[in-house]
Amino acid sequence: MKIAIDIGGTFIKSGVIDKSQSLHGYQKVKTPHNKNGGILQEVIRIIQDYKETFHLNNPDVGISTAGVVDSEKGEITYAGPTIPYYNGTNFKESLADIAGNVVINNDVSSALLGELLEYRTDVKSIFLMTIGTGIGGAYYEDKLLEGKQYRACEIGYLLYDEQTDKTYEDRGSTTALKALIQEHYKEVVTVENLFDRAYEQDDKALKILNEWAKYVAEGIAQVQIMFDPEVILIGGGISKQEGKLISLIEPFIDNFLPEAYGHAKIETTSKGNDSALYGAVSTFFD
């Protein structure tokens, strides 16, 4: 059994995954403030808890995390404002005394590795786009594309508009969608509520979602041109809308591509928000 940990800016999720890819002992805790190394301390607590609960001796640990990750060193090289004081955190060194092998990857890369468990033989090239607080990307073709500084596929920074000072993720993230909702509604309307209203043919909800969907589609078109993958997966919390989400976005993609260019099959992730947990430990099951 392997310990899987997924570190986000808001929550840390974790569990123990067995050989049959079943998840046990799922936990979700608020990400602690990191000024005094709170995240590393919480990760150590989680590992010790699972070691005791599941009687694990020197367990392998897979970590998925927000930020730019040097996967060889096991170190956070850049996290920006998402998680303050996170740069330089080295999990491989810090966990050497309580764990066996420690593998660490960026959260989007981990999510893609988790999804690959479903695609091992059928598909050779997959791009995963996660839409949430921001927008992240990961690409796999024979291996993960990481880049010289482990910053490949940072697609949220694409499509910068000087007039509005906004990037792709400023327009196409779930955060951006929530801002659009607040502009148009006086009452509290969640993203789920908005989708429900739209599929009941509420004109206002449809207008908001279509405006947002065009922004998302524009980024997908850029991914298509740059990577030409077989499948483009959409992950993050929004992915639970599944077919509703795809039917909303897909009609706009060709608007941003040359005539008759075509695009990859668009799907939502099969494991939803748990993809990164499975991906964190996927290399242990190869």
Give pLDDT, residue 13: 95
pLDDT band of residue 38 (cuts 50, 70, 90) is very high
Give yes or no on whether 2-106 and 119-269 have one common fold. Answer: yes
% of the chain residues with pLDDT over 90: 66
Q: Residue 238: its pLDDT value, please? A: 87
Highest mean pLDDT among 95-99, 120-124, 273-277: 95-99
The pLDDT tens digits for 132-164 are: 888 889 999 988 887 887 778 889 889 999 999
**pLDDT at position 231:** 94
Residue 89: pLDDT over 90: yes
Between CA 184 and CA 193, with CA 189 as vertex, the angle to 5 degrees is 120
pLDDT digits (tens, 9 = 90+) for 100-109: 999 999 888 9
Cα-based distances in Å from 38 to 7, 41, 44, 75, 210: 12, 5, 10, 16, 41
Tell whether pTM > 0.85: no
Give the tens place of pLDDT for each residue, 179-200: 999 999 889 989 999 999 988 8
- What are 220-267's pLDDT values in tens digits? 999 999 999 999 999 888 888 888 999 999 999 999 999 999 999 999
Binned at pLDDT 50, 70 and 90, residue 82 comes out as confident
User: CB atoms < 10 A from the CB of 160, how many?
Assistant: 11
| Cα–Cα–Cα angle for 87, 89, 94, rounded to 5 degrees | 175
Tell me the average pLDDT across 35-39.
92
Q: What is the CATH number of domain 119-269?
A: 3.30.420.40
All structural domains of the chain with their residue ranges = 2-106, 119-269
What are the strands, taking DSSP E only, across the chain? 2-7, 11-17, 23-30, 61-65, 68-70, 75-78, 102-106, 125-131, 135-141, 143-144, 231-235, 265-268
Can you give the pLDDT at residue 121?
65
DSSP H or E run through 113: helix 107-116
Name the more confident of 171 and 8: 171
Nearest in space to 279 (alpha carbons), one of 43, 107, 150: 107
Domain 2-106 fold:
Nucleotidyltransferase; domain 5 (3.30.420)
pLDDT at 18: 92
